[in-house]
Amino acid sequence: MRLANKTAIITGVGAGIGEAIALRFAAEGARLVLNDIHAPGGEATLKKVRDLGAQAFLAVADISQEDGARKISDTAAASFGGIDILVNNAADFTQMSIEQAEVSDWQRVLGVNVIGTALVSKYAIPHMKARGGGAIVNIASMSGVIAQADFATYNASKGAVLTLTKCMALDLAPFRIRVNSVCPGCIVTSASYREIERMGLTFEQWRDQIAPLHMLNRLGEPREVADATLFLASDEASFITSANLMVDGGYTGR
């Protein structure tokens, strides 16, 4: 098993990509501390990973708040004695243009996607240093490297995550903590269905518009992002840091 005897934190596990990462890590032997802001979704994923035989605990917390971010690492330290891996997956999907967005919209999306990522990392890093190293994977987005109409809030936040990843990688390299990011393309999740509803489309209409934008001419699945995240978190990626792995079906390669 690729993550045997490793303790991993995964944020935003209630559905979609976060749930897929939790299940993938559980199958590879990781001890897990799962986080979600919503208890029902987090508890459902917790049950699934335990059914796979994983040792796992749930920390229900808002990562945009310092106490919430600290709670997650405290849970890991109390439950398993330390932290080896952190996956910053939790995200807010506020997608608006500059003209549409209010201050509260910016505070929400930056609070989760940027500040939340930074805070959870801040409290996990000392435990990784005490272990003699570790791996952090930040789930960014292809939206962080391209322009999309009326997506300024979300794209700006994910662009910040990519820069944050590089800065963290530089600062933490002396402590043998690797920091990388994954940029998913259009992955079918519950967030996709919210976007489809906002656009007033059926799933088929949306798929037929979006899929051809990818070189592979299809949409992605959460498990495909989970596989990429597993690689970067594992010892197989021991000489990889400050990298951004595009899992976008070739969308940004055109």
DSSP string over 166-189: HHHHHHHGGGTEEEEEEEE-SB-S
Q: What is the pLDDT, as a whole number, of residue 26? A: 98
Identify whether residues 215 and 147 lie together within a single domain: no
Q: What are phi and psi of 82, to 5 degrees?
A: 170, -175
Within a domain: residue 247?
A: no
Active-site residues: which are they?
Answer: 154
Q: What is the CATH number of the domain that holds 176?
A: 3.40.50.720
CB burial class (10 A; 0-12, 13-18, 19+) of residue 211?
middle
Same domain, 87 and 132: yes
Show pLDDT as tens, one digit a residue, over the chain (254 residues).
999 999 999 999 999 999 999 999 999 999 999 999 999 999 999 999 999 999 999 999 999 999 999 999 999 999 999 999 999 999 999 999 999 999 999 999 999 999 999 999 999 999 999 999 999 999 999 999 999 999 999 999 999 999 999 999 999 999 999 999 999 999 999 888 888 988 899 999 999 999 999 999 999 999 999 999 999 999 999 999 999 999 999 999 98
Position 18 in a domain? yes
Structurally, the chain folds into a number of domains equal to 2
Q: Do residues 180 and 106 both lie within one domain? A: yes
Let me know if residue 153 belongs to a domain: yes
**Cα separation, 116 vs 63, whole angstroms:** 5
Whether residue 200 sits in one domain with residue 82: no
Burial of 116 (0-12, 13-18, 19+ CB in 10 A): buried
- pLDDT of 171 reads 98
Residue 23 shares a structural domain with residue 80: yes
Token code pair at residue 230: 């597993």
Residue 130 within any structural domain of the chain: yes
Q: 141 and 198: one domain?
A: no
Its domain, for residue 90, covers 7-185+223-242
- Tell me, yes or no, whether 196 and 167 share the same domain: no
Q: What is the pTM of this model?
A: 0.97
85 lies in the same domain as 104: yes
- Say whether both 65 and 86 belong to one domain: yes
Q: Is 76 helix (H, G, I), strand (E, B) or coil?
A: helix
pLDDT of residue 89: 98
